[in-house]
A and B are shown apart, each in its own frame.
Chain A
Amino acid sequence: MVWSAGFITDPEANRGLVVIAAIALGVVGVALLFKGMDFVVDRLPAHLRERVRPWIFVGPALLMLGVYLVYPAVNTTVLSFKGRNSQEWVGLSNFTEIFTDTESLVSLRNSLLWVIIVPLFAVAIGLTFATLADKLGRRAENAAKSIIFMPMAISMVGASIVWLFVYSFRPPGFGSQIGVLNGLWTGLGNNPVAWLLQEPWNNLYLMIILIWLQTGFAMVILSAAIKAVPEEIIEAARIDGATDWQIFWRVTFPTIASTVVVVTTTIIITVWKVFDIVFVMTGGNFGTAVVAERMVTEFFTFRNNGHGAAFAVILFVAVIPVMAVNVRQFRIQEERR
């Protein structure tokens, strides 16, 4: 690995060749790793072979997870009980400082609002759209779904640039508006509004960006679940005189409820970790800070490892109940097999 790293960063090498070599090395390397380990296991004494083999299958994954997630998690938890330079032990004072500081409390309140509002709207719009699109022709349905999903392919940096042209504001007398929202608003005869400075509504405007990004994800997965609802049940309900509305709430929704839980969980975790949108759009100013953004700012801008780590631990602890629900779900599924 060290040898290859040296070759890849050689400044004299041709860029295109380096890129191809790097791709080949990464892709072929991992295949050879598993093949080689299996070869070695085959040479072991017979009674050991099948006891060792599972560990070469899971081993690399466990090793990577240990280094890249478990080790940092433990390390960060330790840092959260130390001071800003990670030198001295300070007990719980990082946490008490966070829970008594008004600005930090604002970020906690905002994160809570994000976690409630974004999944709610993303799932509701995604579910509505999936249900409605299901009633269209196949080609119209696919085209419409692709457009809703498209934002998923855009980076948060890209999305922020996209939404600059929606929320952009110029004070009256400083040229015409270049943001769509102010274009509409002034077109209706109003004065332009600095949307991202309007506390507390600016939080909602930032959430709309993430709802825009996440609805496609919810929609694609819920749409698949809706299509898996057996046609005969719906047909039977219709013959019994049920309206579309009744069929949706009494037949479709109960059938796809478990998928709704999975989708909501995934979105909650994504929302809880969100930082890019806030960081790029407002920098966490004007009352828009959220926990994950505070964590990055504490670490990298204020260089306060203790506070940054404490925010990370708060993030981590807050998601444990959500995960507990999912682990229980997994256990139930496992027992059914």
Chain B
Amino acid sequence: MIPERFQALKKKAEKKRINIAVAYLRVSTDDQSYNESLPTQRKRVQEYADREGIKIIKWFIDGGQSGKTIKKRDAMQEMLGYCIGHKGEIGYVVVYKMQRSSRDLMSYMADFKSLLIKCDLVIRSATEHIDETPIGQYLEGVYILNGQLDNHIKGEVTTDNMESVAAKGWWQTGPIPGYDTVKVKVGPKKTHTILRKNRYIGNVEHLLRMFETGQYTQADIVRMAREREVKNYMGKYLDDNAVYRMLTQPAYAGFICNKLTNYELVKGRHEAIISLDTFNRIQQIIENSKRKKKGEPKQKNHELYPLKPLLLCHSCGQQLRGSGPKTGAGGHSPRYHCSRASCKGSVRSVSVQAVHKLFATYLEQVTPDEGLLRLYKEILRRHASNHTNNIIKQIEDGLSAVAKLEDERVRILRDASLTRNEKDDVLRAIENDTRRLKKQAEELEEKQTATQAAIDQAIAFMHDAQAMWVNADLPHKQWFQNMLFPQGLTFDTMQLQLGTNDFAQLSPLYRYAPSKKALSGFSKTQVVTPAGVEPAIFRMRT
């Protein structure tokens, strides 16, 4: 006895495909001339259906549509939706020719065939032999590829023709501000397009000449274009992008430059409104005003943005950036910001002055740990010791020289060969040297005392983190910052708060301890932070 599950499978295998179909017709303009019009297609499809005993329950027709992409055809999409909605109720999709369904193999497989398989549908061609046999499936692919090849060959011929037309200076794209496009008859059945000045041309020329002076920005030109009511062919005012395209359009200098000219300047057949020199000057101004291109190395350390390597964005945890956008008054406003895509809307830019003031206020409350001071004192002592040893050596050398001079003086006095005058001269010189050396020794001793004073001053200065940071030059500022916050310091640009989440970390060798002065304005219950400043979180990264 055959088990039940095999019986079910056998039943399924023997199940005959339902003889209900939907039909798809498509016509492009070219097809009209090849006797493949819609009535012809419909007639042949209906004949095929009648012959095969298939009932067509719905017709889907795309008129004037390209065979390249399935997704852009409305009726095709409607048919696929219908097939999905009526899965199991339809057995076939019938087309006049395979090329009617698609002329691109990739698109056919990805956007059409895969859906038919999902809906348990098969395709049939009214004029070609397509079925589920190996040969039938092979032919299905061949017919589609034939269509694709035909398209590619046609495309190549068209591109060649267009390149030839472009090389002759004819315009082949849409109108541009200041020019309309008009057709020019060049043969009994042949026309080409040319640019012709329209009523905005005077204003467009004025805008180009204004920009050429270098005194106006692209934003100024956008504003001026609006004031002068310069519009594009759709009747819309020119926006930033349209003005950029206008300023970089060689057509105003009488040239054509596009893909068809291989991006080379080709003399156009239309009338120019500016010279090529003017056009080149405009391009130079645009080039000079450009921001740094993506990937170009940026200045890592800048005097204006000392906190750039330290501050971390409260939203994404990455380093803030620094830049100085132009202000309305024509100056620059240096700011810290995070311009990463993930932070848009949740992070705002803050002026560097405000951030530096906040950071300096924060540092007022930061004091070094005793251990750090011990280390610093020892380093100072060793530096000073080297220094003092030198001084002592110099003093000793000086004293030794004085002793030698004294011996010399005695020898001269005892020397009987010298006259009195000669002795007086030598003794005077020795006396001068001795006086000079003694004076130098005194100065060195003063220096030794000054060294001790400098050490005291250096230790006192170490206590004042704020003064250290404010007075340091850029490299020292950044070393000091790094020492205070080795893991960086989070800055909440929305709340203007430093160290508000886990990214921040004050070094364990420093303490956040509000001074009495800072606390004077707060009640004891509020003794935590000054306004806008929160203590960094002490947490080592593991």
A and B form one complex: no
